Structure 1
Amino acid sequence: MDGRRVTSELPLHSVSVTGIVRREDGRILAIKRSDDGRWVPPGGVLELGETPQDGVVREVLEETGVKVEPERLTGVYKNMKLGVVSLAILCRPIGGEPRPTDEASSVAWLLPSEAEAIMPEARAVRVSDALREDGPFIRAHDGSALI
């Protein structure tokens, strides 16, 4: 052996970003996913060579038509079943209009209480955590519920 690790034997993780977009009136941007019908904050897989801030701007725009400015990291969330680590970033909208996309059958500005009520626990907690000032938080979940 030449000292290099064989990557196929190492566990792999995917890194994603979640945009918690808060309007001046306090409403939160949410999408209804086209693939599973769940309401969630917009986000997706971070591309290689892309910063988390650039990734969240890209993902929110692609999924909703809303341009955002990232403000701060609010949490790190790991899906233990899939090995996905998501960085939640509080953002403010700076342009664009919400519209359905290939990934989002519906886009809405919801009250935080509405967003938390219709989202799976693992996604709703990202909203409530982002609205707190004592984070960022680190949490694990199984895709739906915190563990």
Structure 2
Amino acid sequence: MPIPEFIVALREKVGHAPLWLSGVSVVIRDDDGRVLLTRRADNGQWAVVSGVLEPGEEPSAAAVREAKEETGVDAELIRITSVDVTEPITYPNGDVTQYLDVCFLARWTGGDAHVADDENLEVAWFAPSELPSDMTETSRLRLAKALLDKPEAWFLR
């Protein structure tokens, strides 16, 4: 999916200046315990499914939407696993963004995993013990927190 229209409108006013945005990530597991990752087109690294919330959108709805839009899979959210803030990110076009991210653990419920948008180059299932070495640092952290299987969400204390 291209840059959301509301961000395009903001960028017309602020240029490449830093934007503070709300985002979601979702760690999707299948019945065998594998996790679904995407290879991002913007940096070539593997990552958990993630995306920006549309204005007024609930984080849970955004997580389910992003899973379907990016990978073609249906997912049922189980719980929030972490809430954190990314470091500022500078995209190839010069835009600077920082995200408040709410990460969910989800269970795959259907659909064949495939590249379903232009944001990703590959989509694949990985055993937690066989994760790719070229994975984003934020995804490593989110996966580690999600796979602890603790009932409470992680947040900086």
- Matched with 2:139 is 123
1:34-81 CA distance string (max 9 Å, x none) = 121110001100111211110000001100000111110000121132
Matches within 5 A, 1:47-126: 47-81=54-88, 82-100=97-115, 101-115=117-131, 117-126=133-142
Task: Return the TM-score normalized by structure 2.
Answer: 0.76
Name stretches of at least 5 consecutive residues in structure 2 with no aligned partner.
Answer: 1-13, 89-96
**Relative contact order (alpha carbons < 8 A, sep ≥ 6): 1 or 2 greater?**
2
Task: Return the TM-score normalized by structure 1.
Answer: 0.81
CA RMSD of aligned residues (A): 1.9
In structure 1, distance between residues paired with 2:101 and 2:131: 18
In structure 2, distance between residues paired with 1:60 and 1:137: 22
Give the number of the structure whose alpha-carbon radius of gyration is greater.
1
- Matched with 2:25 is 18
Identity in percent? 37
In structure 1, distance between residues paired with 2:130 and 2:118: 24
* Count of aligned positions: 130
In structure 2, distance between residues paired with 1:116 and 1:71: 25
